[in-house]
Structure 1
Amino acid sequence: MPFWYQPTLWWTWFLFPLSLLMRGINAVRYFCYRNKWLKSYQSTLPVVVVGNISVGGNGKTPFVISLCEILIEEGYKPGVISRGYGGKSLHYPLLVESSTTGKEAGDEPVLIHKRLNIPVVVDPVRANAAAYLADHCDVDVIITDDGLQHYALQRDIEIVVVDGKRRYGNQHIMPMGPLREPLSRLKTVDYIINNGEVHHDEFTMLLTPSDCKRVDGELAVLSDTNVNACAAIGYPRRFFDTLKTQNFTLNKQVSFADHHAYTENDFKQFESTRPLIMTEKDAVKCTAFAQQNWWYLPIDGNLPRSFIQPFLEQLKQIKESKC
């Protein structure tokens, strides 16, 4: 909602009772799980939750990919679990394979598996996904893409990713603002990762674009800088701005709802002769009907050593304590 990222407007106070209700529900859930009044699953493997306290795209998936790459370099065997937003499978838990589509698993799990070729399990109940991953896959640490508020799954490390520019908007709880939980929740997490901007006492992740790649998988180089663009992510403007910093001129840019299930009809509005650039998350849903002049822009997250070193040390201690 655009008004979430503006100074508080007078009419939004009519939403305050609903925000107060949501805050109360979240507080009761958190209290009950923390005091073990509600049942939760504890894995024998270390569980690292990567989430946020606000709605919208904050850069969690690039962070998860980068974190897994670091773990692999350090000799770990990470696996990822996800809710699978935008996907619907005939059965759960769903182990993502090379033939799994975005319609089945959701775009982010397919993207992560394609990038890393590691076990990725999807289940609306993340605790079930974690149990399946631990019992059936060769992994020694579980990374959950989103799920900070999924307290039915116990976690050993909590990492919150924050949008560096939009931050917390008007700092109100939904629906009055973008927050899922109050800002005080940040005092209980292990790490805050700030995406794209430097803020005091927070680690900074910088996103680095790579060369565009063809959606259909063919190897080629995009030489035309006058393009069309589309994005179905939580914050499309960030993607369009990134394209501009890469010296692309955007002839037409179209935003779709986050996790939008693309069809061929969605692309009839674009000129067929002009290159079309989309996000990598969008591309995994369009390979079946991709045209030769459709491209995607891979994005890599660069994590600071000031975060990596203490995180690896903490993870090592947790793993040893669970052995």
Structure 2
Amino acid sequence: MKPPSSRTAFPHRHWQHDGWLAWLLRPLSALTAWHVTRRRARYQAGRRAVYRAPVPIVVIGNIYVGGTGKTPVVIATVQALRERGWTPGVISRGYGTRVGPQARVGQGELDPCHFGDEPALIARATAAPVAVHPRRALAAQALLRQHPQVNVIVSDDGLQHLALARDVEIVVQDERGIGNGRLLPAGPLREPAARLDTVDAVITNRSNGPPAPAHPDGGPRRADMRLEPGAARHLQSGACRPLADFADRTVFPGVAAAAGIGNPGRYFATLRAAGIRADPCLALPDHYDYRRSPFDAVHADAILITSKDAIKCRGLDDARLWEVPVQARLSDPGLFDWLAARLRRAAAEIAR
């Protein structure tokens, strides 16, 4: 079975080295660099309006196009801030939805068709109020109107959304790093690699390799992240079973896996590390909408899917679907205490 995401895998393979495709597309990357530099200069010179929220804002984003693991970091950040006495809310673009002129605000179990898959997942996992709109200033304003108790906003993505003032910037990258170091389309970067030197923290989502220093001198705070899978949850019944059951062929003779995320290979590697030999492994396009089931031709007793996919599969009448949730584990135990301290100082500045 040919993966539907194979057309996106082609550029990602080329973006990891400075080969013929990168050289061919260099003139277009020069245009991207010109646009990025010109746009940032306009905001810095005050020629474009910037919204300053009455509460601190943390932006969690990336410069590498596609998925790097931001959503688990957003969830972990919201949970950690609540544990430290904050009342967080979340704003997001609402990718894949037509929001309209007014931002949408919700809490708890949200419809991914109206909010987007990642905001719906964040809302379910954290119980925090969530607002979505492509103009994040409108999302922040709507969030605070409906939930005035919110005293810190976590922005899901939006590192390049310069119309929103922010107090802390956290970049999430993975083992691909900056790829070949070139801007789109010759490389995978939305902004020059030097942008990493200007953010407050860099979290690297990795499964192996040497750990990053927690806080090197003269640069952003750095930490590694590993995504630890939990027990699988049956979509229809809500029953949970340990992952070891899916590695045991006497329990589930045939196990398949599917992932409609930015880097499906990472999810499949997580299952292999748990001893699960899934076949087939169906790599779907990021934000796959599941309006039509991709599982009709899959012969398996169980199909393991990500939490991001599970949010959209609730309407599928398929008893084989099991969600495998993951939790972010960070190498820097002081990261969220550092973040809370930064936010307290920012709140004091805003209150002046």
2:246 alignment partner, one of 205, 210, 224 = 224
| Cα distance between partner residues in 2 of 1:217 and 1:130 | 36
2:227 alignment partner, one of 196, 199, 207 = 207
The answer to whether the Cα contact below 8 Å between 2:14 and 2:22 also exists between their aligned partners in 1 is no
Could you report, residue by residue, the CA deviation over 1:267-310 in whole angstroms, capped at 9, with x for unpaired residues?
21212x52001110000001012422200110111232232232
TM-score of the superposed pair, with normalisation by structure 2:
0.87
Question: What secondary structure sits across from 1:313 in the alignment?
Answer: helix
1:309 alignment partner, one of 324, 334, 337 = 337
1:34 alignment partner, one of 44, 56, 59 = 44
- Within a 5 Å distance, the mapping from 1:22-101 to structure 2 comes to 22-89=32-99, 92-98=102-108, 100-101=110-111
Could you say which residue in structure 2 is the equivalent of 1:292?
Answer: 319
The answer to whether the Cα contact below 8 Å between 1:203 and 1:306 also exists between their aligned partners in 2 is no
Could you report, residue by residue, the CA deviation over 1:104-128 in whole angstroms, capped at 9, with x for unpaired residues?
1110000000111110001111111
**Structure 1 residues 195, 41: closer, same or farther in 2, change over 3 A?**
same
The answer to whether the Cα contact below 8 Å between 1:213 and 1:296 also exists between their aligned partners in 2 is yes
| Cα distance between partner residues in 2 of 1:152 and 1:4 | 32
Could you say which residue in structure 2 is the equivalent of 1:104?
Answer: 114
**Structure 1 residues 90, 266: closer, same or farther in 2, change over 3 A?**
farther
- Within a 5 Å distance, the mapping from 1:185-200 to structure 2 comes to 185-196=195-206, 198-200=211-213
Question: What secondary structure sits across from 2:315 in the alignment?
Answer: helix
Of 229-238 and 192-201, the range deviating more from structure 2: 192-201
Could you say which residue in structure 1 is the equivalent of 2:8?
Answer: none
Identical aligned pairs, as a percentage?
36
- Pairing 1:248–2:276 present: yes
**Structure 1 residues 25, 68: closer, same or farther in 2, change over 3 A?**
same
The answer to whether the Cα contact below 8 Å between 1:86 and 1:260 also exists between their aligned partners in 2 is no
Question: What secondary structure sits across from 1:128 in the alignment?
Answer: helix
Could you report, residue by residue, the CA deviation over 1:65-90 in whole angstroms, capped at 9, with x for unpaired residues?
00111101011000000001122346
2:231 aligned partner, one-letter code: D
2:52 aligned partner, one-letter code: Q
| Cα distance between partner residues in 1 of 2:113 and 2:260 | 14
1:216 aligned partner, one-letter code: Q
Could you report, residue by residue, the CA deviation over 1:228-280 in whole angstroms, capped at 9, with x for unpaired residues?
01111110000000011111111101111111111343221212x52001110
1:261 aligned partner, one-letter code: D
Aligned-pair CA distance for 1:217: 4.9
Could you say which residue in structure 2 is the equivalent of 1:146?
Answer: 157
1:234 alignment partner, one of 259, 262, 267 = 262
Aligned-pair CA distance for 1:321: 1.9
Which ranges in structure 1 are unaligned for 5 or more consecutive residues? none
TM-score of the superposed pair, with normalisation by structure 1:
0.95
Aligned-pair CA distance for 1:5: 3.9
Could you report, residue by residue, the CA deviation over 1:160-209 in whole angstroms, capped at 9, with x for unpaired residues?
1111x211111110000000000111111111111125234421122111
Could you say which residue in structure 2 is the equivalent of 1:268?
Answer: 296
**Structure 1 residues 99, 74: closer, same or farther in 2, change over 3 A?**
closer
1:139 aligned partner, one-letter code: V
**Structure 1 residues 115, 14: closer, same or farther in 2, change over 3 A?**
same
1:282 aligned partner, one-letter code: D
> Which aligned segments of 4 or more residues in structure 1 are displaced greater than 6 angstroms?
none
| Cα distance between partner residues in 2 of 1:310 and 1:250 | 40
Aligned-pair CA distance for 1:313: 1.1
Aligned-pair CA distance for 1:99: 5.3
**Structure 1 residues 11, 100: closer, same or farther in 2, change over 3 A?**
closer
The answer to whether the Cα contact below 8 Å between 2:58 and 2:170 also exists between their aligned partners in 1 is yes
**Structure 1 residues 215, 91: closer, same or farther in 2, change over 3 A?**
farther
| Cα distance between partner residues in 1 of 2:110 and 2:125 | 14
Of 248-257 and 198-207, the range deviating more from structure 2: 198-207
Could you say which residue in structure 1 is the equivalent of 2:141?
Answer: 131
| Cα distance between partner residues in 2 of 1:76 and 1:192 | 22
